[in-house]
Structure 1
Amino acid sequence: MITGFRLGTGGAQGKYDIRPDLTCFGKVIGGGLPIGAVGGRKDIMENLTPLGSVFHAGTLAGNPLATAAGLAALNELTDDVYMELSARTRHVASMLRDACAEANVDASFPVVGTLAGMYFGNALGGKTPTNFQEACTTSEETYAKVFHALLSAGVALAPGAYESLFVGLAHTDEVVAQLTERVAVGLQGIHR
């Protein structure tokens, strides 16, 4: 459910005009505190208690602290913020692409909104993957080398080759400038 609020306040369903049977949200909906939310079509939701016979409850259901934190987080997520974050994500992906090219590392970083994917290797002949099967051809060996090279320069990527890069409000221009410098330093010795 990585796309929850990454593509806009309507998530992927809002971006792609999809009407799912059920929708689940976590993390942002609680401002980072432990809570989740589920919603869906009326005919499905009416089956849940107290209207229906399907029991639905939880220890943290309706937690006032998490709901207040979630409301505060959602109030920060305006259309302008999403435009800024999307532009910053494209910038970070472009920087990574250029740094990898400079270091002779075959890589692409496809972007959708505030999400950037990572693909390493040349199994697709320079083409960016567009589906799950193509994404599975990424070079885990190359990713491991990039991961450790960047970690030694102070840049922590996700531990797995199939994760996304997440750009958020904390990634200011200054942070991105530091990231750019550290990525260049980290990739310098990758082929040694």
Structure 2
Amino acid sequence: MLLSLCLQVLPFNNTDVFEKVIKQNKDDIATVIIEPVIGNAGVILPKERFLKDIRKITEEEGIVLIFDEVITGFRLALGGAQEYYKIIPDIVTLGKIMGGGFPIAAYGGKKEIFELISPLGKIYQASTFSGNPVSVIASLTVLSILFENRNKIYRSLEKLQIKIRKGLHDIIEDLKISGQVNSIASMFQIFFTDHPVIDYLSAKSSDKSKFMKYQLELMKKGVFIPPSPFETCFISTAHTEEDINKTIEIMESVIKSL
């Protein structure tokens, strides 16, 4: 009961609802936390001005804006969604890709906020495994590689993503099936629905049973993707153009069989 009084979940990509709720509750809202690109409901991209409007409204009302970049951090760009969309939040959370396969998480933010956190400030924060040396070295190595090769890596990943997105679009059109493909940088997902996927509710319109069959048949043919349309497919630096071409061929044969 207490949580429901403290937390409000708002629809993604709906500035009008967001502004209305903020204006009505501005004295009771401490923070707004948002995935700039939703990766936990498939891949859902922000509308053109959505993130800018969120930033503008939170700044006007003195509300802390937190970007959950656990998925998008170092993936959309070296500077994550902040760099990609040129919007700076007050706090950012990071993880996943930065560990290079090892468990790690991080958070950062504006100086005036982090001066309040220990060891500089009075707000205590700690973790049993903070600063684990193996994870830290792995993270430093990954981030160094990304930094030194950022132009080549991110261009290459996006090129492969565009190729697989076009391949899936062509399959959908040729077979005249219900389908939407959302993608950005090295992230992509297919939704078996007629409706554009712009938020969680539209993502739920995807045919989940069909997707489960699609995932299972892909796995039988050696293509491994998450078992739910509410997760994200990622392209890696290990993937080649030949891998993507083969993946598209397999996806086409599987979708034809559904």
TM-score past 0.5 threshold:
yes
1:53 to 100, 112, 122: 122
Partner in structure 1 of residue 76 of structure 2: 7
Tell whether the 8 Å contact from 1:31 to 1:71 is kept in structure 2 after alignment: no
Q: Give the SS at the match of 1:89.
A: helix
Work out whether residues 149 and 187 of structure 1, in 8 Å CA contact, stay in contact via their aligned partners in 2: no
Residues 152 and 98 (structure 1), Cα distance of their counterparts in 2 relative to 1, 3 Å cut: farther
Q: Counterparts of 1:2 and 1:105 in 2: how far apart (Å)?
A: 30
* 1:47 aligned partner, one-letter code: L
**Partners of 2:71 and 2:96 within 8 A in 1:** no
Q: Which amino acid aligns with 1:108?
A: Q
Say yes or no: does 1:118 pair with 2:118.
no
Structure 2 unaligned spans of 5+: 1-69
Farther off after superposition, 89-98 or 181-190:
181-190
Q: How many angstroms apart in 2 are the aligned matches of 1:88 and 1:76?
A: 19
CA RMSD between the two structures: 1.9
Q: How many residues align?
A: 186
| SS of match in other structure, 1:178 | helix
Alignment deviations for residues 99-133 of structure 1 (CA, whole Å, 9 cap, x no partner): 344444321212222211322122x2xxx323333
**Runs (5+) with no aligned partner, structure 1:** none
- Equivalent position amino acid for 2:231 in 1: E
The match for 2:221 is 153
Match of 1:140 in 2: 208
Match of 1:79 among 134, 151, 160: 151
Partner of 1:66 in structure 2? 135
Residue 90 of structure 2: aligned partner: 21
Moved over 4 A (4+): none
Supply the distance in 1 between the matched residues of 2:220 and 2:255 (Cα, whole angstroms): 10
Amino-acid identity (%): 31
Q: Which residue of structure 2 lines up, in the alignment, with residue 167 of structure 1?
A: 235
Conserved? CA contact 2:71–2:94, under 8 Å = no
Distance 1:7 1:68 in 2: 23
